[in-house]
């Protein structure tokens, strides 16, 4: 006698736990895997002189030329002149007293040659320093300093002439440092009177 057999139900495998485990493994490997080439590339782009634990850095081999400008005898307009000093050398270069600017001096026909000779001497010293370092202007950093209080009264034209020396020699990395001299009580009163008008 034939006994009718029941058809078995379709059995399905529950894939949800396996998919969960696979995703957890993928996340684990993504977080724990290190790519050496990417690590090196990222480290090289990070700043080495900042952060919680700065690492010592060695500055590039460059020459720094600092020219300081001071104003002397400011009380007497006929004796007032600019003095320049290169780096920490005690040699001073004196520009003509009571200099009124290139155009005014040319029209009067006086002292332009003295001014140009002094600037040429300064330029020759800078050139010697550059040649001793290798002569590449890209490896030279210029600095123009007019420290207060006496540096603040240096005429703008003198500072521009020093800048011209740097630019003529091909130096493009130039830094300025200085501050304006504070106003005297008479100058403050004059300004206040002008504003009151």
Residues 36 and 82 in one domain: no
Residue 139 within any structural domain of the chain: yes
How confident is the chain (197 residues) per 10-residue block, as mean pLDDT? Answer: 74 86 93 68 57 60 82 79 84 80 70 84 88 81 78 78 87 76 74 76
Cis peptide before 149 (omega within 30 of 0): yes
Residues 68 and 148 in one domain: yes
Residue 85: give the domain boundaries.
63-178
Residue 187 within any structural domain of the chain: no
Residues 69 and 27 in one domain: no
Alpha helices in the chain (DSSP H): 16-32, 36-45, 102-108, 112-133, 156-168, 185-196
Of 108, 124, 102, nearest in space to 168 by CA:
124
Residue 32 within any structural domain of the chain: yes
Residue 105 within any structural domain of the chain: yes
pLDDT in tens, 53-96: 656 665 566 778 888 888 887 777 788 888 888 888 888 888 88
Residues 116 and 172 in one domain: yes
pLDDT in tens, 126-137: 888 888 878 788
Residues 38 and 79 in one domain: no
């Amino acid at each position: 006698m034939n006994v009718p057999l029941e058809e078995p139900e379709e059995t399905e495998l529950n894939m949800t736990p396996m998919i969960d485990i696979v995703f957890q493994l993928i996340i684990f490997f993504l977080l724990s895997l290190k790519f050496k080439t990417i690590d090196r590339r990222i480290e090289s782009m990070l700043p080495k002189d900042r952060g919680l634990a700065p690492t010592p850095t060695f500055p590039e081999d460059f020459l720094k030329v600092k020219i300081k400008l001071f104003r002397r005898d400011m009380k007497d307009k006929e004796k007032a002149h600019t003095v320049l000093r290169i780096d920490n050398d005690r040699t001073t270069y004196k520009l003509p007293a009571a200099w009124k600017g290139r155009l005014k001096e040319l029209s009067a026909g006086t002292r332009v040659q003295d001014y140009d000779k002094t600037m040429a001497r300064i330029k020759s010293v800078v050139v010697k320093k550059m040649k001793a370092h290798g002569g590449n202007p890209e490896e030279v950093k210029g600095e123009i300093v007019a420290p207060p209080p006496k540096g603040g009264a240096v005429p703008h034209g003198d500072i521009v002439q020093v800048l011209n020396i740097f630019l003529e020699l091909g130096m493009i990395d130039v830094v300025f440092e200085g501050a304006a001299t504070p106003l005297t009580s008479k100058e403050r009163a004059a300004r206040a009177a002008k504003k009151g008008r």
